[in-house]
Amino acid sequence: MGRPHLNSRAAHTGNAPLVLLVEDMQPMARMYLGHLRNAAVTLAHVETGQAALSAIRQNRPAVVVLDLRLPDMDGLSLLRRLRDEGLRPVVLAITAHGADAVADEAVRLGAFDVLTKPVSAERLRYALAAALDWCATEARLAELALAAEQVDPGVANPGAMLGESLPMRRLFARIAALSPSGAPALILGEPGSGRSLVAASLHAQGPRAQRALVVFDTAMLPRHAAEVELFGLAGRAAPGAIAEAEGGTLLIEDIDALDPASQLHLLRLLQTGTYRRAGGASLERADIRLLATASLGLRASVSAGRFREDLFHRLAAASLLPPPLRERGPDVLRLARAFLARMSVPAGKTRASFTAEAEALLLAYPWPGNVRELETVVRNLAIRHEGPAVTRDMLEPYLLAAASKSGPPDYAPAAVRPLAEVTRLAIVEALAACEGNVGKAAVLLGVPPSAIYARRGVPAAMLGAAD
């Protein structure tokens, strides 16, 4: 098959990133291409989903501007094909309705942004600039992540966070890449996964480390009080969190809970570097770095209109995603042992270890509350139990209590367990004993390595080298 025909409209060549427009309506295509004619990119245009798929396979564009209504396939089907084939251009999806189910599904399938028709020149240029910034950041982070896989785990961690698994080393590489910047950063993740620690590491490794890190917890305040506490009140002695963070870093926790008025004022602060205190008339300048944490549902809040889209893109140009504990494999044991050693001393205990059966249970449990839940469980064990080591019988009631609140547990507590669970635990125990080496674990279990790789339910981070 020959190369797909691309209608090129740009004079930029060489190292200019390729941007592919997928639009079947010629008047709309001419308008979009005109909007972007002065961008430092190479523009190309195709009219069908199949032509787009071929062009993406062969030319690997950095950004794809995709109309979700196409004559031969809908844009969602194209996004699924890209995902299934491992093709990952940054996609700007265009739809007639920005808050409908189609837009939500496009985001779920990996679209970087959803633009609602009619798309203005300013909106398209802004979205493209954010997408290209994201491409550059991802390329740099990929280099750092590859380097992180080759170095000693202790060296890969730039801060106080504990972890040696590959997902954590990749996170440490992201922190190392983004720390020197003064740009805003957004930390998305599950509750208890360490979002605040990531923010603290960004601050500690950055140029503002000697200045204050001010934490503003949105979820702890009534919605009507957030604006005053964040921006300050004119004539009041307490100036507000922004003024307190002057010269340093402001961390806004749970920014998805921020009220609409405060979102607008925060956007203006990021755009102009100025803000007004509540009830005030004069503008004040702010020299801060803004960090924010939010749940994984923030994109859905954007699509639903609960969170400003323009503010989201200002923050998400540099984003980090701390992995949930269930994806960190042997880090569970490293954290549990560290917590136990630290918490046993204040409790007047000498216990500092888990039995092999207890460690297998720690690895098998899904930890829906992440590191925070693990820390709470270990604290209770340190306070309430005696003995030289934590046994499975001591540990199991705490996990059962937590599982009853979040749904059925991953494991059965009865004496007789399902065969699949026995097999899974045997694999987990063998991998733990072999420090994640699949080949050695296979020898212990008397099975080929492929049998371990084929088993579902074993944390992916535990599956290391085959030999």
- Which whole-number Å values give the CA distances from 232 to 36, 217, 229, 240, 266, in the listed order? 41, 15, 5, 4, 13
155-323 to CATH, choices 3.40.50.150, 3.40.50.300, 3.40.50.12280, 3.30.70.2970: 3.40.50.300
Residue 178: closest CA among 148, 160, 193, 198: 198
Digit-coded pLDDT (tens) for 108-137 = 787 888 888 888 988 898 888 878 877 776
The region of weakest confidence among 19-33, 173-187, 382-396, 412-426 is: 412-426
Q: Is residue 20 within 8 Å of 46, Cβ to Cβ?
A: yes
- Top-confidence residue, 328 or 408: 328
- pLDDT mean over 97-113: 74
Domain over 7-119 is classified CATH 3.40.50.2300 = yes
7-119 and 337-412 share one fold: no
State residue 238's pLDDT score. 67
Specify the pLDDT at position 55.
94
Band (pLDDT 50/70/90 cuts) for residue 1 is very low
CA atoms within 13 A of residue 48's CA, in its CB half-sphere: 8
410 pLDDT more than 50? no
Task: Choose the weakest-confidence range: 177-191, 215-229, 359-373.
Answer: 215-229
Cα 279-283-285 angle, rounded to 5 deg: 125
pLDDT in tens, 320-360: 999 999 999 889 998 998 888 887 765 556 656 899 999 99
For residue 19, the model assigns a pLDDT of 94
pLDDT score for 152:
44
pLDDT at res. 409: 40
pLDDT above 80 (res 312): yes
- Residue 241: HSE in the Cβ half-sphere, 13 Å Cα cutoff: 22
What is the residue-averaged pLDDT of the chain? 79
Q: What are phi and psi of 110, to 5 degrees?
A: 115, 5
Per-residue model confidence (pLDDT) at position 457: 45
Sign of CA pseudo-dihedral 164, 170, 176, 181: negative
Q: How far apart are CA 334 and CA 374, in angstroms?
A: 11
Domain 337-412: top CATH class: mainly alpha
Model confidence at 400, in pLDDT bands (50, 70, 90)?
Answer: low
360-370 mean pLDDT: 90
Its pTM stands at 0.56
Residue 131 in contact with residue 89, Cβ under 8 Å?
no
Per-residue pLDDT of 130-160, as tens digits, reads 788 777 766 665 555 555 444 444 434 444 5
Percent of all residues in the chain with a pLDDT value above 90, rounded to a whole number: 30
Inform me whether the pLDDT recorded for 424 exceeds 70.
Answer: no
Domain ranges for the chain, please list them: 7-119, 155-323, 337-412, 414-467
Tell me phi and psi for residue 205, to 5 degrees.
Answer: -95, 0
